[in-house]
């Protein structure tokens, strides 16, 4: 486990170096965030305008929730595929453009939509479990959610690099989990924890600055609040881009046993050999 933790940390650092050398990769999660907000705004305005939930959460409500989940997942997975596609070009020593990433995603659009439908269905089930009044069902939902996140972490690289159906991509991601479970779990949890702590610190400092500024000028307080909100947004974009590069690198190592430029010191050629 110590070896896996060390390798995961080195993978994260190497992925961050890739991102520093190609900051254009951050545009994919930035555009994705804007697109998901647009989808959210569209659905909220439609649901409110049509009074979808006026008579409770019935069959029509379930349909609307599924459509919302499907659209959101379609956008998120599409842009993740574009990011990972571009990251794979970078890991192969190329110099990817936005067009390269979007081209990789568009070539897999049917599979992306199919996987989005699967993810939307699972998302609805998990939400139902997590929102249940029974404590055991909520715990079950949380555990299944964590397992689903780990099992599907490499779905996007599989979709981008292989012409497979969404079901087959899910199966291959789950098979790769057996080989990379330590790096998968530690990388996900480690990045999430690290960025979570940094975000908490930024929020705490931001609230303090806004509170102090409010005693002198309301406009200054608003300006500072906007600046700190922007910092949190950039952190989220950076984390999403880093996670995409990490998944691309992990997939490449687990399947091809090749070390691209900048990752030579990790000694991964033998670390993920099939067992």
The 3-class secondary structure across the chain, one letter per residue, is CHHHHHHHHHHHHHHHHHHHHCHHHHHHHHHHHHHHHHHHHHHHHHHHHHCCCCCCCCHHHHHHHHHHHHHHHHHHHHHHHHHHHHHHHHHCCCCCCHHHHHHHHHCCHHHHHHHHHHHHHHHHHHHHHHCCCCHHHHHHHHHHHHHHHHHCCCHHHHHHHCCCCHHHHHHHHHHHHHHHHHHHHHHHHHHHHHHHHHHHHHHHHHHHHHHHHHCCCHHHHHHHHHHHHHHHHHHHHHHHHHHHHHHHHHHHHHHHCCCCCCCHHHCCCCCCCCC
Domain ranges of the chain: 2-266
Which pTM was predicted? 0.85
What pLDDT does residue 50 have?
Answer: 77
Q: What is the pLDDT of residue 47?
A: 79
Instruction: Label residue 98 by pLDDT band (50, 70, 90).
Output: very high
User: What pLDDT shows up at residue 273?
Assistant: 46
């Amino acid at each position: 486990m110590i070896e896996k933790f060390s390798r995961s940390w080195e993978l994260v650092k190497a992925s961050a170096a890739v991102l520093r050398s190609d900051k254009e990769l951050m545009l994919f999660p930035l555009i994705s965030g804007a697109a998901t907000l647009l989808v959210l705004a569209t659905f909220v305005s439609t649901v409110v305008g049509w009074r979808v939930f006026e008579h409770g959460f019935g069959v029509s409500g379930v349909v609307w929730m599924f459509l919302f989940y499907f659209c959101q997942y379609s956008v998120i997975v599409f842009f993740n595929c574009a990011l990972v596609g571009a990251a794979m070009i970078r890991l192969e020593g190329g110099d990817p453009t936005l067009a390269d990433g979007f081209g990789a995603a568009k070539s897999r659009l049917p599979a992306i939509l199919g996987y989005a439908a699967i993810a939307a269905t699972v998302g609805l089930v998990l939400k139902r479990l997590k929102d249940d009044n029974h404590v055991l069902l909520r715990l079950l939902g949380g555990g299944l959610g964590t397992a689903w996140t780990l099992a599907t972490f490499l779905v996007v690289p599989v979709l981008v690099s292989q012409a497979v159906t969404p079901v087959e991509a899910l199966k291959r991601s789950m098979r790769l989990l057996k080989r990379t479970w330590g790096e998968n779990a530690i990388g996900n949890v480690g990045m999430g924890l690290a960025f979570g702590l940094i975000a908490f610190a930024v929020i705490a400092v931001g609230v303090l600055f806004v509170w102090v500024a409010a005693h002198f000028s309301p406009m200054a307080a608003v300006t500072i609040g906007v600046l700190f909100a922007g910092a949190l947004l950039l952190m989220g974009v950076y984390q999403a881009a880093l996670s995409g590069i990490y998944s691309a690198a992990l997939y490449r190592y687990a399947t091809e046993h090749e070390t691209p430029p900048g990752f030579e010191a990790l000694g991964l050629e033998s670390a993920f050999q099939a067992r």
